[in-house]
Amino acid sequence: QQQVRQSPQSLTVWEGETAILNCSYEDSTFDYFPWYWQFPRESPALLIAIRPVSNKKEDGRFTIFFNKREKKLSLHITDSQPGDSATYFCAASPTSGGNYKPTFGKGTSLVVHP
Amino acid sequence: ETAVFQTPNYHVTQVGNEVSFNCKQTLGHDTMYWYKQDSKKLLKIMFSYNNKQLIVNETVPRRFSPQSSDKAHLNLRIKSVEPEDSAVYLCASSPDWGDTLYFGAGTRLSVL
């Protein structure tokens, strides 16, 4: 059973365009949603995160939109740069309840062409 | 420098051998994890420890066993490696349950 789903699997945009990465989840106990990015030959690292008390989180060119009712969130990357080319993982975890498993989606591979 | 440190970076071995990977975090976190990342970049949690107590033990083969001497160290031993064990093994730590994960550089295992 896949708890966290991501789409698309891969995405190609031109420099300057907005890239939109989607994520959905099933477990209602999830209440922390970090996005990690991973560059080739490196480990995942935190990019931006949101908790359900907010429906939007912004950090520079990166914005998370969160819809708790539909259990969906999306990562928008505005003015995409070639240096944004990486694999993006949506993750989810509960902060209470005993299910202590940070769960990752399968990732979206983003390529930004100059 | 505070971070998550893993050794070795790479390890090549043959089927049936035993291997051990080490992980140490200097971030003062209470929780540590082992993840396996396969060639398709899928991240699967294997184990997690909170203050030396095993909290989550996913259904990994019995040849895998975590070992922790204190909350800053979490090692992984594979008793008799199989070809499907070839992957990158990522150690991570977090301040608390459900918090941000900080990953080490990973150990790439190749089983011939």
Would the pLDDT of A7 be above 80?
yes
Which residues in chain A (20-59) have CB-CB distances under 8 A to chain B? 31-32, 34, 36, 38, 42-46, 49
Which residues in chain B (11-70) have CB-CB distances under 8 A to chain A? 31, 33, 40-43, 45, 48, 50, 55-56, 58
Q: Does residue B95 sit within a domain? A: yes
| Rg of chain A in Å (alpha carbons) | 14
Give pLDDT, residue B85. 96
- Cα–Cα distance, A11 to A31 (Å, whole number): 27
Q: Does residue B23 sit within a domain? A: yes
Q: Do A89 and B43 touch (CB under 8 A)?
A: yes
Q: Please report residues of A whose CB lies closer than 8 A to that of B58.
A: 101
Residues 6+ apart with CB under 8 A from B30: B50, B51, B71, B94, B95, B96
Q: For residue range A17-32, list pLDDT tens digits in order.
A: 999 999 999 988 898 9
Q: Which residues of chain B register pLDDT less than 50?
A: none
Question: Look-up: residue for tokens 């950090």?
Answer: A59
CATH of the domain at B49: 2.60.40.10
Residues 6+ apart with CB under 8 A from B104: A43, B3, B4, B5, B6, B23, B25, B90, B91, B92
Whole domain around residue B87: which residue ranges?
4-106
Q: Does residue B72 sit within a domain? A: yes
Q: For residue range B40-71, list pLDDT tens digits in order.
A: 999 999 998 887 778 777 788 999 999 988 98
Strands A19-25 and A72-77: antiparallel
Q: For residue range A50-107, list pLDDT tens digits in order.
A: 998 999 999 999 999 999 999 999 999 999 999 999 999 999 988 776 667 889 999 9
Residues in chain B, total = 112
Count of the separate structural domains present in chain B: 1
Query: Measured between CB atoms, which of B43, B100, B105 is closest to A46?
Result: B100
Q: Does residue B111 sit within a domain? A: no
Residues 6+ apart with CB under 8 A from A53: none
Q: Topology of A4-113 in CATH?
A: Immunoglobulin-like (2.60.40)
Query: Measured between CB atoms, which of A89, A95, A101 is closest to B45?
Result: A101
The domain limits of chain A are: 4-113
